[in-house]
Chain A
Amino acid sequence: MAQASDSIRFILNDTEVALSDVSPTATLLDYLRLERRLTGTKEGCAEGDCGACTVLVGRLSNDGENGERLVYESVNACIRFVGSLNATHIVSVEHLAAQDGTLHPVQQAMVDFHGSQCGFCTPGFVMSLYGLWLTNENPSRAAIEKALQGNLCRCTGYEPIVRAAEAAARERPSAIFDPITRTREAVTARLKALRSTETIVIRKGEDCLIVPADATGLATVLDEHPTATIVAGATDVGLWVTKQMRPLNPAVFINGIAELQRIERTEVGLTIGAGVSYTAAFDALSKAYPAFGQLIDRIGGEQVRNMGTIGGNIANGSPIGDSPPPLIVLGASVSLRSKNGARTMPLEDFFIAYGKQDRKPGEFVESIFVPTLPEGDHFAAYKVSKRRDEDISALLGAFRVSLDEDNRVRTALVAFGGMAATPKRAKAVEAALIGQPWSEETIHAAQAALESDYQPITDWRATSAYRMLAAKNLLMRFFLESTGETVQLQRFEDVA
Chain B
Amino acid sequence: MDKSTFEEQTTISGPMHTRLRHDSAHKHVAGTADYIDDMPEPAGTLHGALGLTDRAHAEILEMDLSAVAALPGVVCVLSASDMPHSNDISPSHLHDEPVLADGRVQFHGQPAFAVIAETREIARRAARLAKITYRDLPHLIDVADAMVQGGELVTQPLTLQRGDAEGELERAPRRLKGQMRIGGQEHFYLEGHIALAIPGEDDEMTVWSSTQHPSEIQHMVAHVLGVPSNAVTVNVRRMGGGFGGKETQGNQFAALAAVAARKLRRAVKFRPDRDDDMMATGKRHDFLVDYDVGFDDEGRIHAVHANYAARCGYSSDLSGPVTDRALFHADSSYSYPHVKLTSQPLKTNTVSNTAYRGFGGPQGMVGAERIIEEIAYALGKDPLEIRKLNFYGEKGSGRDVTPYHQKIEDNIIHRIVGELEASADYQARRAAIIDFNKSSRVIRKGIALTPVKFGISFTMTAFNQAGALVHIYQDGSVHLNHGGTEMGQGLYTKVAQVLADSFQIDIDRVKITATTTGKVPNTSATAASSGSDLNGMAAFDAARQIKDRLVAFAAERWQTTPEHVTFVANHVKIGEELVPFPDFIRQAYTARIQLSAAGFYKTPKIHWDRATGRGTPFYYFAYGAAVSEVSIDTLTGEYLIDRVDVLHDVGRSLNPAIDLGQIEGGFVQGMGWLTTEELWWDEKGRLRTHAPSTYKIPLASDRPKIFNVRLAEWSENAEKTIGRSKAVGEPPFMLPISVLEALSMAVASVADYRECPRLDTPATPERILMAVERLRRM
Contacts and interface: CB of A to CB of B under 8 A. Distances in A.
Interface stretch (B162-170, B485-493, B556-564, B614-622): B485-493
Contacts of B666: 157
Nearest to B277: A45
A388 B239 CA distance: 29
Nearest to A486: B443
A120 B190 contact: yes
B404 interface: no
Interface string A237-248: 000001101000
Given A39-B38, A44-B274, A122-B29, A459 B688 contact: yes
Contacts of A94: 30-31
Contacts of B660: 114
B707 interface: yes
Contact of B692 (A43, A49, A157, A466): A49
B480 to A, nearest CB: 20
A337 B658 CA distance: 58
Contacts of A390: 699
Interface string B643-677: 00000000000000110110011111100000010
A469 interface: yes
Among A30, A38, A120, A392, chain B packs the most CB atoms within 10 A around the CB of: A120
A480 B440 CA distance: 13
Interface in A129-165: 144-146, 148-149, 151-162
A469 B669 CA distance: 30
A42 interface: yes
A489 B30 contact: no
B258 to A, nearest CB: 23
Interface residues of A, number: 90
B658 A114 contact: yes
B769 interface: yes
A495 interface: no
Main SS at interface, chain A: loop
Nearest to B27: A119
B23 to A, nearest CB: 11
B442 interface: yes
Contact of B32 (A40, A46, A463): A40
Among A152, A154, A242, chain B packs the most CB atoms within 10 A around the CB of: A154
Interface stretch (B228-236, B571-579, B591-599, B634-642): B634-642
A101 B490 CA distance: 23
B548 interface: no
Nearest to B770: A466
A158 B668 contact: yes
A491 B701 contact: yes
B664 A49 contact: no
Nearest to A157: B668
Contacts of A24: none
Contact of A384 (B21, B40, B638): B638
A171 to B, nearest CB: 14
Nearest to A465: B770
A474 B635 contact: yes
B669 A157 contact: yes
B345 interface: no
B701 A103 contact: no
Interface string A347-370: 000000000000000000000000
A126 B29 contact: yes
Interface string B765-778: 11001100100000
A411 B758 CA distance: 43
Contacts of B274: 44-47
B702 interface: yes
B26 to A, nearest CB: 6
B703 A157 contact: yes
Interface string B4-39: 000000000000000001101111111111110110
A158 B680 CA distance: 26
Given A117-B22, A159-B707, A388 B702 contact: yes
Contacts of B29: 103, 107-108, 110-111, 115-116, 122-123, 126
A477 B442 contact: yes
Nearest to B680: A460
B442 A480 contact: yes
A101 B30 CA distance: 9
Nearest to B443: A489
Nearest to B640: A489
A303 to B, nearest CB: 13
Interface in B693-741: 693-694, 696-703, 705, 707
Interface string B37-52: 1101000000000000
B31 A123 contact: yes
A38 B24 CA distance: 18
B118 interface: no
Interface string B458-472: 000000000000000
A118 B490 CA distance: 8
B285 interface: no
Interface in A384-429: 384-392, 394
Contacts of A469: 769-770, 773
Contact of A118 (B190, B636, B693, B707): B190
Given A44-B274, A114-B661, A158 B635 contact: no
Contacts, number: 263
A126 B31 CA distance: 9
A96 B26 CA distance: 13
Contacts of B639: 489
A119 B238 contact: yes
A459 B683 CA distance: 11
A169 interface: no
Contacts of B59: none
A462 interface: yes
A489 B25 CA distance: 36
A346 B700 CA distance: 38
Given A40-B31, A111-B29, A460 B238 contact: no
B204 interface: no
A386 B442 contact: no
A462 B636 CA distance: 12
A382 B21 CA distance: 43
Contact of A42 (B27, B35, B128): B35
A386 B661 contact: no
A99 interface: no
Contact of B766 (A38, A50, A462): A462
B240 A120 contact: yes
B243 interface: yes
B172 interface: no
B190 A153 contact: yes
Interface in B382-419: none
B91 interface: no
B281 interface: no
A185 B691 CA distance: 41
A346 to B, nearest CB: 29
Nearest to A384: B636
A430 B189 CA distance: 47
B633 A120 contact: no
B190 A152 contact: yes
A39 B34 contact: yes
Contact of A154 (B32, B37, B243): B243
A144 B703 CA distance: 13
Nearest to A39: B38
17 contacts: A111-B26, A114-B660, A114-B661, A120-B189, A144-B700, A152-B190, A153-B190, A155-B241, A242-B273, A245-B128, A384-B636, A384-B765, A386-B764, A387-B696, A392-B694, A487-B442, A489-B640
Given A108-B29, A114-B657, A480-B441, 5 more contacts: A44-B191, A117-B665, A119-B33, A126-B31, A487-B441
Closest 6 CB pairs of A and B: A40-B31, A120-B240, A118-B488, A119-B28, A157-B668, A117-B488
Interface of A: 30, 33, 37-47, 49-50, 52, 92-94, 96-97, 101, 103, 107-108, 110-112, 114-123, 126, 144-146, 148-149, 151-162, 242-243, 245, 382, 384-392, 394, 459-463, 465-466, 469-470, 473-474, 476-477, 480, 485-489, 491
